[in-house]
Amino acid sequence: MHSHDNVDEFDVPSSGSFGDDEITAQLFRSAFAGQAGPKSVTRRWREMTTEQSQEAWRSLFAWVRWLVATYQLTTSVVPDCWWRHPEIVAELYALHRAELASYTTDDPGFGPLAFHERLPHAVERLRTHTRAAGCVGLQAHKEPAPRMLANDDPAFLDWCKASHQLVPEF
């Protein structure tokens, strides 16, 4: 293999006769090629500004409408009140970002395939979150009960002070 300056030339040994060398070379070219324009940013919801949050919601809502229509997802997967459930929003946002990352100008087609391989797992997680939310059976939104862990429990504070690594006795 030569330098990374010429990303079109890679000496990739192949043990198979099914084009493995070309597939590997494409993956390497993709990994070392420069970025082809501005990159969309994935953000943590809890760290977004008001403006970033508003843009993220607009984009996510449009994408969720597309996802539900395209894959014919029922309310048992994405309830009508999905936006009121942080765990469902987090899953949909992650899926949205994964789908966006799957379609890049330098991808030879593996990105969309990887997205579709992961989609059934995400649908099952969404189904689990929706079932736990309880909105579908009620045919109405059920407000989630927030759960905040106490950080002032004396047992926790003592736990933090102790070492929890196993030390072998020699």
Express each pLDDT in 7-35 by its tens digit. Answer: 444 444 444 444 566 666 555 555 545 54
By mean pLDDT, which of 13-17, 19-23, 141-145, 152-156 is the weakest? Answer: 13-17
Mean pLDDT of 40-62: 90
Given a cut of 60, whether residue 52 has pLDDT beyond it is yes
With H, G, I as helix, E, B as strand and everything else as coil, classify residue 161.
helix
List pLDDT tens digits, range 65-119: 999 999 999 999 999 999 999 999 999 999 999 999 888 888 888 888 889 999 9
Residue 45 has pLDDT above 50, yes or no: yes
- At residue 97, the pLDDT reads 93
Helix 86-101 and helix 50-70: axis angle, to 10°? Answer: 80
Q: Provide the whole-model pTM.
A: 0.66
For residue 8, what pLDDT is reported? 47
Domain extent listing, the chain: 1-34, 43-138
pLDDT at 149: 84
CA angle at residue 110 from 104 to 115, to 5 degrees?
A: 85
Go through 103-138 and write b for each residue having 16 or more CB atoms within 10 A of its CB, e for each that does not: eeeebeeebeeebeeeeeebbebbbebbeebebbee
More confident residue, 66 or 152: 66
Cα 128 to Cα 56: distance, rounded to the nearest angstrom? 24
Question: Residue 110: its pLDDT value, please?
Answer: 86
